[in-house]
Structure 1
């Protein structure tokens, strides 16, 4: 298959290790298209929800669609608002937390190192 359309009703919930008070949904996997390289998900964080401080071995982009998330890295803590994004390389230590009073929707894009 050379393309894939995912309808909002077809997003697949999955378990995300180290995450809490949230529902991650998978929109696209690398195997969905020929020579695919990216994983795309939409995560819904309840107030108080987040991810523990740690890293993964994937290049990552977080884009805030709605709400806000507190982002903590080894060097700083900042608030990401709707329309803000965060891009990090493999092995980057970080944590996120929804300290707001409304749910946050965050688009997550992941690639393996060395892939475009």
Structure 2
């Protein structure tokens, strides 16, 4: 069993992300994981990500607030407890177009290299 208290979760930054506070709850620098990592992001009003992709799929859950998600062709609005899967290689842009913060849970597999190293 590996516990990470939210108040002690390590923060991280990612390219193409702005006006966001991000912490890892499990995996990578937050502790051992064979397959995935979990993070929480708080996106300030006007904040979000650029339109980009990665080889790994991503699962987003809106925990609080309203999140706008686009893959460059389609756009959806997620409310509390709504979720969205972005496939590996699929573009995605997250945007907070409201005047209140948005809290988002992210679940993402480790890269093949990370899985081989046993992170």
Please give the range of the TM-score, normalised by the shorter of the 2 chains.
0.7 to 0.9
2:86 to 73, 85, 88: 88
SS of the aligned residue for 1:9 comes to helix
Q: Do the aligned residues in 2 keep the contact of 1:30 with 1:37 (CA within 8 Å)?
A: no
The alignment's C-alpha RMSD in Å is: 1.8
- Distance between the aligned counterparts of 1:51 and 1:96, measured in 2? 5
Q: Do the aligned residues in 2 keep the contact of 1:62 with 1:107 (CA within 8 Å)?
A: yes
**TM, length-normalised to structure 1:** 0.88
**TM, length-normalised to structure 2:** 0.86
Runs of 4+ in 1 over 3 A off after TM superposition: 112-115
2:41 to 37, 40, 43: 43
Question: Which sections of structure 1, spanning at least 5 residues, go unmatched?
Answer: none
Instruction: Report whether the alignment pairs 1:103 with 2:96.
Output: no
- Distance between the aligned counterparts of 2:25 and 2:68, measured in 1? 24
1:14 to 4, 8, 12: 12
Instruction: Report the number of matched residues.
Output: 112
1:65 corresponds in structure 2 to 63
- Distance between the aligned counterparts of 1:112 and 1:57, measured in 2? 10
- Structure number having the greater helix percentage: 2
- Distance between the aligned counterparts of 2:99 and 2:70, measured in 1? 19
Residues 30, 21 of structure 1: CA spacing in aligned structure 2 closer, same or farther, 3 A cutoff?
Answer: closer
- Structure number having the greater strand percentage: 1
